[in-house]
Structure formats: structure tokens, C-alpha cells
Amino acid sequence: MTASPYPAPCPEAVLDSCPDALLVVAEDGTIRFVNAATERMFGYTRDELLGRDHRMLLAEGFRTGLQRIFFALRKDANASPAATGSNAGPVPAPPSFPPVEAYGVRRDGTEFQGEVACSLLAQDSGGDPTAPRSMAVSVRDTSHRLAADAGLREAMSLLTATLESTADGILVVDSDGRIDGVNNQFISMWGIPRKLLATQDDEAVMGFVLDQLTDPGQFVEKVSALYADPAAESHDELDFRDGRTFERYSRPQKVADKVVGRVWSFRDVTPARVAQDRITQAMADLAAQAAQLKSLAFQDPLTGLSNRQLFNDHLAAALLGPYGTAVDVLLLDLDDFKEVNDILGHHAGDQMLIEVGRRLRECVRPNDVVARLGGDEFVVLLVGSLDAEAVAEKIVDSLRVPLWIDGTMLRPSLSLGLASITDDVVGASELLRRADVAMYAAKVAGKNRYMRFRPEMMQSLLERTETEAGLRLAVDTGQISVHYQPIVSSRLGVVVKVEALARWERDGVIVPPQQFIPAAERSGLIVEIGTEVLLKGCTELRPWLAEDAARSLAVNVSGVQLQHGDFAELVLAVTSSCGVDPRQLVLEVTESVFFDDDCHVIRQLTALRAAGVRVALDDFGTGYSSLGRLQDLPVDTLKIDQSFTSMIRTGDEHLPILSCMITMAHGLGLTVTAEGVETAAQAEYLMNLECDSLQGFLFAEAEPEPALASAITRSAGAFAALRGGRVSGRR
């Protein structure tokens, strides 16, 4: 070989003379080496470039390219480690990547088109596949091709802009299933860490994706099916574990009719799905509400029983049923329900109605109709029942079981009228009317019972109407008289008080007050009757009262009177016109009068007490009131109802309720009168409990004024006999 006239070139000079920019980029992206052409091409000095991130030299849209190439090269290198090289032959090629088109950015911001080729830098990694590597990069300015590629560049930028601005996440995979590209939206929608994506480890990326789905199996199945049919398109939904929902579209990516890959696009439809779910739910709620409204139209809202409308429909249908089928109507009404409402309040009243409804349902078969007609009125319809009376009895019995409401024990009772279909019943309204008549008869007969309709009952209904008419006539023609019953003082043994009791003498027969007082209250005539009794009492007893200021006259007053006009004014006008001292008048009222909403009654009684009139609480213990309420009421005397007195039979009983009533009343500063004292044993028992006054047939019955004097004497005599018995040691 002849000697060369040229000196051997130094490698630096060669690199610096190279027209292409040559760089070495480390795995972490920093520039480790540049040649002179790099300085010229990009307008930076060598010092300005070394150690900096190579992406500063790449235009927008091309900045991640080199990193991807780097990883691809490393992967290849790890898959087929470079030959160690033998002494013979050329140096083996390092892993390299075919040149790609890219845009560089100069220091002054101008961009230029270039061709970039990369290869892994041959270096001794000591065989360690994880050791950091570097990449040799050559950049050739291809600006001369600019005009030709302008269209391509524009298309690229348009595509990039479109991909990045769409709300959909886009994933492009090649025919082998390798990820070709993704947009930012895809990455953020799936929350894929960029590091993971940069590894280009598609399996790891797929694992990350699958982990988020509620049904990963279905996802994989779909993908496999589409790979088997590259030209197919698909659309479905993916449900995420965190509640999100994506729509998934997939279509083939074609180049000149050849399928080269597949484009997947994902759209987050969670808000739309939530809205849709809400609409569906709202529609369901609406349908449920409509159904409820429909049922309410036929349902009693308080008890949940059928209402009148539904009952009428069932009754009409039953009457049209096969001939011979038994149809029974059981109409019932709670006894004294108004008192529960007035005394314990509407809440307690409601609870009672609900409980009654529940018990009624328990007494009948599931298909029998139980309806609330309103207030405290219920009705039961039995169709095909073998023994309606047994059911009626069961109902009455079931209501006798006490119930507790707000800590108070109540014993509901009801009056029930039973009417059954017979040949002469023409229709539903007649059947109901008969049940109503029977119910009324049950009430008159003493309540808390059932009665079957009998034609004679119509007669008593007629009589009821007649009673009211007759009573009006009696009031107008002065047929109402007053009888007086003596009340004996236990301490003095003499009569110090008499009670005025109204009497109606009708055609020579005395009609009992229990019959005409309720009728008078219903018709409002009680106002006139009460005034008449007060006026007659004051007039007839004025001389007896005048003899001794300690004597008094007791007059019964109904709640209706107290509610009517200025009752206090009327009473004081009567006493004043009759010349009776108001302090000699006692007004007897029952507990229920105190439970009016506007306190009108309390005001009236307070005004009367201020004028000296005293107030007695009549029939105490029969209502729903309790001893605890006594201290709040404007009363002076307690009248123990005769039902308590009658509990004393031999006189040897232990009756704590009586002693408790008396002690409590005394504790509150009230005097106590016992009603219905018929036997010596009762009188003695009560006197031993220090009951202040006694009233009853043992002493005298109520008598008209002319017979009163002898009744008073008889009373004192009876008392003296009693005392004599006590003195002589008899009980």
C-alpha cells in the first residue's frame, strides 16, 4: 500500500465537518454531545446545549417522538443483544430506527423541516439490560423539501389539533395490536400515567385499563372479536368500577383500502347516563305517586281502611251478586269519642281511630271490606258470611281490650248496628239506614254492645224525633218542672244543700232526664231548659235559702249552655232578680266542659266564681279526665259519681281509689260530695274517709218543692239513725 499524502483525520474534525447535525441524547432526554453542524443548524452554542433537554430543539407535535424511538430501540436491543463483534468483517450495525420526518426549532424560534435518524450508542453496558444508555441522533435539514411537504405538515397539524381538541379519548393501534398513538384526552380519561405509556409496554397499559372496568372479560372478548374481523365497526358501553360509563366506538384504520390498524374512541357519557337514570327514576316515582293518589281516592288516609266511596261500590256489587248470598252491614260508632278528642287531644283521638281500624281488620276475613265513613264511624261489609252476629260480637269484645295512648289507658267501646239483606230490602241505602237505626238502638240501650235491626226499632227512631218535637212543646208550654234532692252534711248531719233536677211530665208520665237531656242538648233546647231550672230553683227555694246563709242550691249546667252567649251574665241576672245571694248557688258541670279550645267556658266560670258562685265537678271519675288535672280547674267541689259509691257493698272492702280521690280533693282545697248513697254501709264508709257531704236515696229522693221540707226532715232523720248506729257500735 502506497503512503497517503493526507494526514490521518482527527475524529473531532470529522464530526465537526459533518454537514448533518449530530447529537448524543441520554436516556433521560438530556443532550450529552453536539457537533458544529448542530450549533449552526439550531443557532445555539455547544455550551448552551449540553446538559439541556433535547425537546427544546423539536417543534410542537414532535417533542415526544425521540423518546418513543429511544424506548423502541432499547426494547429491540434487549430482545436481541448486539453481537459482541468479531475481528473479521465490518462493525455490526447498532440498533437503529429508520429516519423520520420532524420539525426542529431554532434559537430564534423559526422552525425547519428535517430528517431524524437514531441509533443506540454502542457502548459497553456490561451486558446489563437495565443500565442507562444513550442514543446517537443525526438531523438533516430538509427545508428544501418544504414546499413539497407543506401540505403534509398542514394535514399533520390539523390532525393533531383535531385529536387534541376533541372531547373523546382516541387510541390508535396497529394491525398487531400495538399502540400507535393516543391523544391527551385518552390519557386523562383513563388516568394512564405517562410513564407507563412511555414504556410502550402495551400489556401493562391494557392491564391498567382492564383494572378499572366492572366487566373486564367482556372488554377483552370484544377486542378479540374485532381483531378476528379487522374491517368490522363496533359501538358499546363500558361500565367503570367508580361509577363512570364510557361509550366505546371502534372502526378500522385504512390506508388505500388496506386495514392497517384500528381507531378506538371513548366518550365519557356518565353525566348523560346519570341524567337518564334520574329521568327513569323520576318517571317511576311519578307512576308510584299516581298509583298512590289513585288508592288515596278510595282510602281513608288516617287508618288506611277503605273510604265511603269504596264501601258503597263494594256494597252495590254485593247486592248484585248471586241470589241467596248473605250480605251483612255492620255499622259502628265509638262511644263518647268526643271526650277522648276534647280531653286528650286530637293526636290521642287519631291514635284511637287507627287502633280501632286495626282491631276491626283483625276481626274479619282478609276479603271483607272495612271502611271508615268519617269521624268515629266505621262500617264492615260481610259477603257470604255464615254468622254475622258472631263477627259483631267479636268486634265489640275486641274493642273492650284497653289500649294505651301517650301513657293513658283508654277503654274504647262502641255501639254496633247490624242489618242483613232480606227479601224486603230494596237497596244499599235502605240496608245502611237499617244498620244505622240498629246502632242508635244499641246506643240507647246503654252503648258498648251490638244490636241486630228489628222493624220495631224504626218505631223508636220515630219516637226520638217525636221526643224532640214534644220537648219543644214542653218548653213552650211550661211542662218542665224541677225536683230537689237533699244533700246532707256529714259534719252537721243536716241538709245544707239541695240539687235541682229537671223533670218532664209528659201526659202524666215523668220522662227520665237521661232520655230528654241528651235530646235537649242535641236540639239546643237545653239552653232554655237550663235557664228555666235555674229560674225556678232560685224562685222556689229563695225562702229556704234566705233562712240560713250556709244553705245552697246546686243546679246542673250543660256544656252547651256554657258555650252559649254570656252565661255568667245570665246567671247573675237571674240570682239578682230572684234576690238570691250568688254565694248560695252551686253550678254542677261535668269534666268535658273544660276542654273547649278558646277557653270561653273557663272565662265564664272564673267570672261567676269571682261573684261568689261555686262550681262542682259532677260525675267525677266517669270521663277520661284524671285526678292530676284537678288542680288546674276552677272548681270548689268534687262530686264522686255513683258508680264509685256502688263499689261499696258490705263496707269491708278495700277501695283505695275512693280514699285517694277524697284525700287528693282535700289536698287541693276542694270539698267532696258522694252521689248515689243508698245504704248505711256506703254512708259510713264514706264518712270514715271524711267525705264532706252525702247525697242519695238513703236520705231522700228528689221531690217537688212542696214535698221538699219533709224530704229534708227525712234526710236528717236518716242521718241521725246512722249516727245512732255508729254510736251503738253498728257498722
Query: Residues in the site for ligand C2E, rule: CB under 6 A?
Result: 485, 501-502, 512-514, 517, 526, 530, 533, 556-558, 588, 618-619, 642, 675-678, 695-697, 702
Report the residue number whose CB is nearest to ligand C2E: 696
Helix (H) or strand (E) holding 190: helix 184-190
Min. distance of Cβ 523 from ligand C2E in angstroms?
A: 13
Identify what 558 binds: Mg ion, ligand C2E, none; CB under 5 to 8 Å per kind. Answer: ligand C2E
Q: Which of 46, 164, 146, 47 is nearest to 103 (CA)?
A: 146
Identify what 402 binds: ligand C2E, Mg ion, none; CB under 5 to 8 Å per kind. Answer: none
182 vs 502, beta carbon nearer ligand C2E? 502
Identity of the residue numbered 137: V
61 vs 513, beta carbon nearer ligand C2E? 513
183 vs 552, beta carbon nearer ligand C2E? 552
Q: What is the largest CA-CA distance in the chain?
A: 177
Identify what 404 binds: Mg ion, ligand C2E, none; CB under 5 to 8 Å per kind. Answer: none
Residues in contact with Mg ion by the rule CB under 5 A: 556, 588, 618-619, 675
Identify what 485 binds: Mg ion, ligand C2E, none; CB under 5 to 8 Å per kind. Answer: ligand C2E
Give the separation between CA 558 and CA 526, rounded to whole angstroms: 7
Question: Are the C-beta atoms of 23 and 31 separated by less than 8 Å?
Answer: yes
120 vs 683, beta carbon nearer ligand C2E? 683
- In the structure grid, which three cell numbers stand for residue 499, read together? 240539687
101 vs 678, beta carbon nearer ligand C2E? 678
Min. distance of Cβ 556 from Mg ion in angstroms?
A: 5
Min. distance of Cβ 501 from ligand C2E in angstroms?
A: 4
Question: Are the C-beta atoms of 166 and 183 separated by less than 8 Å?
Answer: yes
318 vs 482, beta carbon nearer ligand C2E? 482
Identify what 341 binds: Mg ion, ligand C2E, none; CB under 5 to 8 Å per kind. Answer: none
238 vs 541, beta carbon nearer Mg ion? 541
* DSSP characters over 630-695: GGGS--SEEEE-HHHHTT-SSS----HHHHHHHHHHHHTT-EEEE----SHHHHHHHHHTT-SEE-
Identify what 665 binds: ligand C2E, Mg ion, none; CB under 5 to 8 Å per kind. Answer: none
Min. distance of Cβ 513 from ligand C2E in angstroms?
A: 3
Min. distance of Cβ 463 from ligand C2E in angstroms?
A: 19
Identify what 513 binds: Mg ion, ligand C2E, none; CB under 5 to 8 Å per kind. Answer: ligand C2E
355 vs 588, beta carbon nearer Mg ion? 588
Q: How far is CA 170 from CA 49, 187, 190, 463, in A?
A: 35, 9, 11, 94
Question: Are the C-beta atoms of 246 and 266 separated by less than 8 Å?
Answer: yes
Give the separation between CA 326 and CA 388, rounded to whole angstroms: 9
Identify what 552 binds: Mg ion, ligand C2E, none; CB under 5 to 8 Å per kind. Answer: none
In the chain, count H helices and then E strands.
Answer: 25, 27
Q: Cβ neighbours of residue 674 under 8 Å, at least 6 residues apart?
A: 639, 640, 644, 645, 682, 686, 691, 693, 694, 695, 696
Which residues pair with residue 501 across a beta bridge?
Answer: 483
Helices 388-400 and 346-363: crossing angle, nearest 10°?
A: 140
Q: Give the position of cell 398513538.
A: 181
483 secondary structure, DSSP code: E
Q: Which of 411, 400, 405, 327 is nearest to 369 (CA)?
A: 327
How would you classify the pairing of strands 614-620 and 637-640?
parallel
Which residues pair with residue 639 across a beta bridge?
Answer: 673
299 vs 490, beta carbon nearer Mg ion? 490
Cβ burial 214-234 (10 Å sphere, 16+ → b, else e): eebeebeeebeebeeeeeeee
618 vs 692, beta carbon nearer ligand C2E? 618
Interior angle at CA 581, CA 551 and CA 486, nearest 5: 25
Identity of the residue numbered 565: G
Which residues pair with residue 637 across a beta bridge?
Answer: 616, 671
322 vs 512, beta carbon nearer ligand C2E? 512
- In the structure grid, which three cell numbers stand for residue 420, read together? 242483613
Min. distance of Cβ 634 from Mg ion in angstroms?
A: 17
379 vs 527, beta carbon nearer ligand C2E? 527
Min. distance of Cβ 530 from Mg ion in angstroms?
A: 12
Min. distance of Cβ 639 from ligand C2E in angstroms?
A: 7
User: Secondary structure of 520-579 in the HEC alphabet?
Assistant: HHHHCCHHHHHHHHHHHHHHHHHHHHHHCCCCEEEEECCHHHHHCCCHHHHHHHHHHHHC
Min. distance of Cβ 577 from ligand C2E in angstroms?
A: 19
Identify what 333 binds: ligand C2E, Mg ion, none; CB under 5 to 8 Å per kind. Answer: none
Min. distance of Cβ 579 from Mg ion in angstroms?
A: 24
Interior angle at CA 228, CA 227 and CA 233, nearest 5: 65
Identify what 702 binds: Mg ion, ligand C2E, none; CB under 5 to 8 Å per kind. Answer: ligand C2E
Min. distance of Cβ 624 from Mg ion in angstroms?
A: 17
Identify what 530 binds: Mg ion, ligand C2E, none; CB under 5 to 8 Å per kind. Answer: ligand C2E
355 vs 619, beta carbon nearer ligand C2E? 619
* Signed CA dihedral, 189, 195, 200, 201: sign only: negative
Min. distance of Cβ 677 from ligand C2E in angstroms?
A: 6
436 vs 618, beta carbon nearer ligand C2E? 618
Give the separation between CA 701 and CA 251, rounded to whole angstroms: 110
Helix (H) or strand (E) holding 447: none
Identify what 517 binds: ligand C2E, Mg ion, none; CB under 5 to 8 Å per kind. Answer: ligand C2E
Min. distance of Cβ 500 from ligand C2E in angstroms?
A: 6
How do the residues of the chain divide into helix, strand and coil, expressed in percent and rounded to 5? 45, 25, 30
Give the separation between CA 298 and CA 305, rounded to whole angstroms: 9
Identify what 512 binds: Mg ion, ligand C2E, none; CB under 5 to 8 Å per kind. Answer: ligand C2E
219 vs 567, beta carbon nearer ligand C2E? 567
Identify what 617 binds: Mg ion, ligand C2E, none; CB under 5 to 8 Å per kind. Answer: none
Min. distance of Cβ 618 from Mg ion in angstroms?
A: 4
* DSSP characters over 42-93: H---HHHHTTSBGGGGB-TTSTTHHHHHHHHHHHHHHHSPPP---SSSSPPP
Give the separation between CA 163 and CA 166, rounded to whole angstroms: 6
Min. distance of Cβ 622 from Mg ion in angstroms?
A: 9
Identify what 697 binds: Mg ion, ligand C2E, none; CB under 5 to 8 Å per kind. Answer: ligand C2E
